[in-house]
Structure 1
Amino acid sequence: MADKSGPGYADIAAHYRRLIEDGKLRPGDAMPPMSQAREEFGVSITTINRAYRLLKDEGLTVPRPGAGTVVADRPRVASTGAARLQRIARTGKAYAPGETSIDHRAELRSCNDPMTAQLLGVEIGDEIVVRSRVFLRDDKPAVAALSCIHVRALSVVPELLEARPFERFWQEIYKERTGRQTTKSPERRTARFAAPNELDLLDVQAPENAAVPVLVLVNVFHDDEGPLEVWEDVYAPGLWQVEGEKP
């Protein structure tokens, strides 16, 4: 049962999760003793124990003899695109600790995927801007990210066709230049078999024609003219995601 006078165990776990994502608690750092956390949040030791157990179950923390509970060296949890944007807003940093990106590409391409065309509000064969990159964690591919952007954004942000990372989220530049606000639809999550090019991007070694399941997250952004961007994240096998959008 949650403490009536304080936050629930999931809220406390989310607090520490953000500290880990933002690099304020780094791999190997000791978690606060449960007695200290209990006093800080004003809840029972049972609630703190449940929060710590959740972080352990998520792979974010591990027990270490003589040190108690510490942040895991290589957490198997990867941030969603939405959580990444929230982290940028909180910290101003484009990457989480131990994270970087490679293989940046940008081009005009005909939209041949029916689902993308529907979400982006275009017809099959219409030109769209496609930007892709691979996020690395500790030098290993973790997420293949694909952004499909409505071509109308190109007249406002021509830099979209430059194959380089932006120093900040490109939609911030779009909003500055147009005065339009963008909104995000609820994040969609599904699983499917990886395409051969996705296995190559994620450096997954698999037998030819093998069916390799992957987790896929889709975010759709809109402005007052309609859909603006469809953002798809494909996770490497062995990584998983936890809710990262709650404050």
Structure 2
Amino acid sequence: MTDKASPGYADIAAHYRRLIEDGSLRPGDSLPPMSQVKEEFGVSITTVNRAYRLLKDEGVTTPRPGAGTVVSERLQVASTGAARLARIARTGEKYAPGETSVDHIAHLRSCHDPQVAEILGIEVGDEVIVRRRVFVRDGKPAVAAFSMIHSRALADVPELLQPQPFDRFWQEIYTERTGHVTTKSPERRTARLASSDELALLSVQAPENAAVPVLVLVNVFHDDQGPLEVWEDVYAPGLWQVEGEKP
């Protein structure tokens, strides 16, 4: 590393987290010895040890006799929506290693969520485009992802009502066709009780009427005409979510 300021342990952890997310390091692969990382980043062995301990605590890596620190076989970390976009920009890959998506739907429906209506600048009951998919990692549902898109986008991207995934982020097509550049607000994190539909999508077995808390991440996109899209990512219980927006 030639940066003037030495990276901290969180920066080093983020570096290896991105390599794992992008598939450069796969489950079972060994991370470099700490002495090598110390030299590469120009930091103390204590800093490297803290970075490796952070990855272990997150469930990203695990110690293995004779192999040192290796990438966990079943990762307990799920990507954020922002991290997915960053990965696509870096690698062109829509999915992380061992990941795919299922249960795709797309339709027009009335918006009965006052918060979503307020964000999109519409009235409760107005129609929005709803696209849904479930990200599956290593055979297990990890994230139920919902996109609520302002109906004005249909005039330029009618394909939004087709359930199959786009080959690239649909907003890129929108920008090409309209000249309107989209921007994303900072990602928001909250927690709430999951609906019965969300529990079913995530294959969570719970007693009837049980209260199951889930982590929810919200991303909002705008163009020069106003709010365009709201993302809600609902995480399966037991999964970690870590910061992944930085390139």
TM-score range, shorter chain: over 0.9
Matched with 2:194 is 194
2-structure distance, mates of 1:208, 1:240? 25
Matched with 2:144 is 144
How many residue pairs match? The answer is: 245
One-letter amino acid of the counterpart of residue 13, structure 1: A
2:139 maps to 1:169: no
2-structure distance, mates of 1:137, 1:193? 22
1-structure distance, mates of 2:4, 2:192? 41
Deviations 1:158-207 (A, max 9, x none): 00000111111101111111111111011110111100000110111111
Q: SS at the partner of 1:142?
A: strand
| CA RMSD between the two structures | 1.1
One-letter amino acid of the counterpart of residue 220, structure 1: V
Matched with 1:243 is 243
2-structure distance, mates of 1:16, 1:57? 14
1-structure distance, mates of 2:142, 2:46? 34
What is the CA distance between 1:152 and its match in structure 2? Answer: 0.5
Matched with 1:91 is 91
Matched with 2:110 is 110
Q: SS at the partner of 2:244?
A: coil
1-structure distance, mates of 2:246, 2:159? 32
Deviations 1:123-151 (A, max 9, x none): 11111100001110011110000000000
What is the CA distance between 1:240 and its match in structure 2? Answer: 1.7
2-structure distance, mates of 1:74, 1:177? 41
Pick closer, same or farther for the CA change 1:4–1:157 going to 2, 3 Å: closer
Identical-residue share of aligned pairs (%): 79
Contact kept, 8 Å, 1:5 with 1:42, in 2: the verdict is no
Which sections of structure 1, spanning at least 5 residues, go unmatched? none
2-structure distance, mates of 1:8, 1:209? 45
One-letter amino acid of the counterpart of residue 113, structure 1: D
1-structure distance, mates of 2:92, 2:221? 21
Contact kept, 8 Å, 1:29 with 1:71, in 2: the verdict is yes
1-structure distance, mates of 2:130, 2:21? 28
Matched with 1:232 is 232
One-letter amino acid of the counterpart of residue 62, structure 2: V
Contact kept, 8 Å, 1:5 with 1:43, in 2: the verdict is no
Q: SS at the partner of 1:90?
A: helix
2:80 maps to 1:59: no
2-structure distance, mates of 1:220, 1:165? 20
What is the CA distance between 1:5 and its match in structure 2? Answer: 4.5
TM-score relative to the length of structure 1: 0.97
2-structure distance, mates of 1:56, 1:213? 24
1-structure distance, mates of 2:5, 2:122? 50
Deviations 1:56-99 (A, max 9, x none): 11110000011110000111111100111000100001100000
Matched with 1:74 is 74
One-letter amino acid of the counterpart of residue 33, structure 1: P
Which sections of structure 2, spanning at least 5 residues, go unmatched? none
Contact kept, 8 Å, 1:78 with 1:239, in 2: the verdict is yes
2-structure distance, mates of 1:16, 1:229? 31
Contact kept, 8 Å, 1:215 with 1:240, in 2: the verdict is no
Judge which range, 146-155 or 39-48, deviates more. Answer: 39-48
What is the CA distance between 1:246 and its match in structure 2? Answer: 2.2
